[in-house]
Structure 1
């Protein structure tokens, strides 16, 4: 039932989004422009910017093609660590732990407890050196980092090159998709702290894959020790590294890379005049029919009319009968 309610809520949200997108396109291209949801529903092929190994598994239509690692598969396109970062990577007796919230989230815009908890956890692992990426304006994090000897704070790092470094032991991430893909390709176990949007699903996929531990951002505020516990679990339990390396091997040995899929499936569709055979007949069903809500309503009504009401009437009749007997006595 929860899955049904969640799905209905998601469909409602997507419908509103599609409606707003349609209005934008109609203003730009005229009122003859079709609705966005109709374009999506009647598409012969849908390229999905996720990788099937890095997804929460669920039923999918046969015309869905995953190309999630597109643009990230070139191992030679990793950049190079600058001299300062390369020097920092040699510190820490047991290795390096990396923290980053990506490029779209500014650490300076977060509530202070986030960076306070992260830097507080770093203190508990003196044998590891922490590379903490923040934005250039985050003075709060810079203040918190003062006096923490095993921390290097920076506002930029060549992330792919860092993730490939042999001394890296774990990555604390907000679960942005590019970071998830890059970590999987480099075999790096994760501690995930999703904040919004697809990050929550990405975090769940990592947990289900067994190569990371997930936390909520509220946990950083309500119980800061949870980050320490999660990080200790990833660093001390070999199974996370083993599963991360398995994920790396799966992505590396896939028979068809994302770019290959994109090109070959596009050519296939064009050469065959579409793939109508793979389009779901249910694509134009209403929410009520799609989720059998009319059937559920009928069953509930039937139970109410033929079971609940007779039982209720019988109960009332027995109560009145017993009451009359009591008065007679």
Structure 2
């Protein structure tokens, strides 16, 4: 365990005092306009200051100072989790983060949280795993639709066998470490905040018997909605199907096949990996699925400006884009480069946190397309310099992505389709040229394409001419920017910012020691009761019995009539 000291924010009293001074000045200005006398002015001022003084002496309301155990997922998931943690820390909560000693992005020592090192997935899988996965994915994308589907499911199955096998082993080691678990129990946390993309936090919340809040978009089997809300396959596309919410017959069949594959992987690959662990440590739980569904609150990183409309639940709060913020000024050198673009503006390209660079043959084609543009290009890039790179392109191993997207000279964002980057593009109204590579990225860029705010390139097969034509189309056709700016207006038009909403509802769970009243009882029903198949079976049996009784009565009546006529004839 690291024993980092939490550095508190400046006292609330000093912040409020500044606000009060500013308000007092405004009040004086207002009084001047109303021509209030000096005596009345003094009375107003004394009354206001006295009220403000007693108000500042009151203890803060709510649940400030609560102790929160945070179990995150590394990589891009950590980027937005860290933003939420900073906001919670500013509200005086004490945060403890469980991380791997070899974590990729989660720092061991920061001002806003303390950390505990544990053996997690990052100890077994490094970032080079994703680069090898990208190579295999590009090969699969070059196949026809049927073979692509089959190979995708085989690849996903092998990833799940590897990943969940490691995860179950790490979770077992954690739960069987008596010193580690005793340390967590003694700390007496008020809440577990976790990303259920990996189930470590789920196990710890149940073991410690604590309320559980998810910062979530994906669970281990796919989109979180399929785990906690009704999801009719007629208009809710399954992750990986690359479909919209308007499907014809063949597309609905395709969606059903994707759901069937996902269901089978969940039932026969994922859940069995954890069954022995659940049986040993959580005898009251049926399986991992039931444990995951018991979260008190789901902070879902989605916004229906971006997502397709679908059913949801009372304990779901949508906080998509909570990491977005107004752009800050660029460094002098970067601002000079941006301004040198003149009226043509700038194209920005980034591939996120997991993939630093594309395979060289794809990189060369993108560099050649960029070189033929009149715009300047800023490209977040790590690796060998491409030979086709033009003088208009600046390669950087890190960029202030949000600040560049918010710059008025940024014209297009060439993105891999990660949700963090796409929400920043929506927030700032910058159209997207999608270059999806892995996982949900294909579905993400499709959502913007359906709304007319993006165009998509197939990374595995595009040519240099196709890349150039797509860039010129997004740059020259104003409909892309108009559509994205409309999405930006809709995304910003909310009564409460996504970050404030996330912190309010997290504190709501702490204040009320859970939110069981918001959880649906549907998950406690067996599948046949959930779909009322038992009721339907009874009704069908009643109808069949009634028809059978009617037939028997009719047959008996007819037989009696026939027998009576026969006797009369005799």
TM range, normalised to the smaller chain? 0.7 to 0.9
**Preserved CA contact (<8 Å) 1:116 1:144:** yes
Assess, with a 3 A threshold, how the Cα gap between structure 1 residues 279 and 134 changes in structure 2: closer, same or farther.
Answer: same
Change (3 A) 1:236 1:61: same
Q: What CA deviation, in whole Å up to 9, does each residue of 1:205-233 have, x standing for no partner?
A: 1112221111221233xx33222222111
CA distance in 2, matches of 1:177, 1:21: 29
The residue that corresponds to 2:332 in the other structure is: 83
Name 1:281's counterpart in structure 2: 522
DSSP-derived class of the 2:425 partner: helix
Q: Is 1:67–2:316 an aligned residue pair?
A: no
Conserved in 2, the CA contact under 8 Å of 1:42 and 1:279?
no
Partner of 2:193: none
Which of 104, 113, 123 matches 2:371? 123
Whole-angstrom CA distance in 1 between matches of 2:499 and 2:269: 29
What is the match of residue 403 of structure 2?
161
2-side partners of 1:7 and 1:235: how far apart?
A: 37
User: 1:186 and 1:158 mapped to 2: Cα distance?
Assistant: 14
| Counterpart selection for 1:30 from 271, 275, 281 | 281
1:158-202 deviations in whole A, cap 9, x for unaligned?
Answer: 111111111111010001111111111111110011111121121
Comparing 37-46 with 170-179, greater Cα deviation is found at 37-46
Checking the alignment, whether the CA contact within 8 Å between 1:188 and 1:245 is kept in structure 2 is: yes
- C-alpha change, 1:88 and 1:273, in structure 2 (3 Å) is closer
Alpha-carbon distance in structure 1 between the residues aligned to 2:403 and 2:514: 43
Residue pair 1:187, 1:247 contacting (<8 A) in 2 also: yes
RMSD: 3.1
- Give the direction of change, closer, same or farther, for the CA distance of 1:24–1:218 in structure 2 (3 Å limit): farther
Per the alignment, residue 7 of structure 1 pairs with: 259
Residue aligning to 1:256: 496
Give the equivalent residue in structure 2 for 1:302.
Answer: none
Aligned residue runs from structure 1 range 231-250, under 5 A? 231-250=471-490
Q: Secondary structure at the match of 1:219?
A: coil
Higher RCO, 1 vs 2 (CA within 8 Å, ≥6 residues apart): 1
Deviation sequence 1:57-106 (CA, Å, 0-9, x none): 44434543211223x1442xx45423332221122341111111122212
Uncovered stretches (5+) of structure 1, i.e. residues with no partner? 296-329
Q: In structure 2, how many angstroms separate the alpha carbons of the residues matched to 1:281 and 1:252?
A: 34
Match of 2:301 among 34, 49, 52: 49
Matched position secondary structure for 1:256: coil
Aligned residues between the structures: 277
Query: By how many angstroms is 1:272 displaced?
Result: 9.7
Structure 2: gaps of 5 or more residues: 1-252, 537-570
Q: Give the one of 176, 179, 184 matched to 2:418.
A: 176
Asked if 2 retains the 8 angstrom alpha-carbon contact of 1:210 and 1:243, the reply is yes
In the alignment, the residues of structure 2 paired with residue 239 and residue 182 of structure 1 have an alpha-carbon distance, to the nearest angstrom, of 19
Shift, 1:260, TM fit: 3.3
1:14 Cα offset (Å): 4.1
Shift >6 Å, 4+ stretches: none
Q: Aligned pair in 2 of structure 1 residues 83, 21: CA closer, same or farther (>3 Å)?
A: farther
Q: Which residue of 1 aligns with 2:63?
A: none
Counting only pairs closer than 5 Å after superposition, residues 161-310 of structure 1 correspond to structure 2 as: 161-220=403-462, 223-266=463-506, 271=512, 274=515, 276=517, 279=520, 281=522
What residue number does 1:95 align with?
345
Q: 1:118: Cα distance to partner?
A: 0.8
Residues 1:190 and 1:21: Cα distance change in structure 2 (over 3 Å): farther
Whether the 8 Å contact between 1:44 and 1:278 is mirrored in structure 2 is yes
Say if 1:253 and 1:111 are closer, same or farther in 2 by CA, change over 3 A: same
TM-score, L = length of structure 1: 0.73
CA distance in 1, matches of 2:416, 2:466: 16
Q: Give the deviation of 1:117 after TM superposition.
A: 1.5
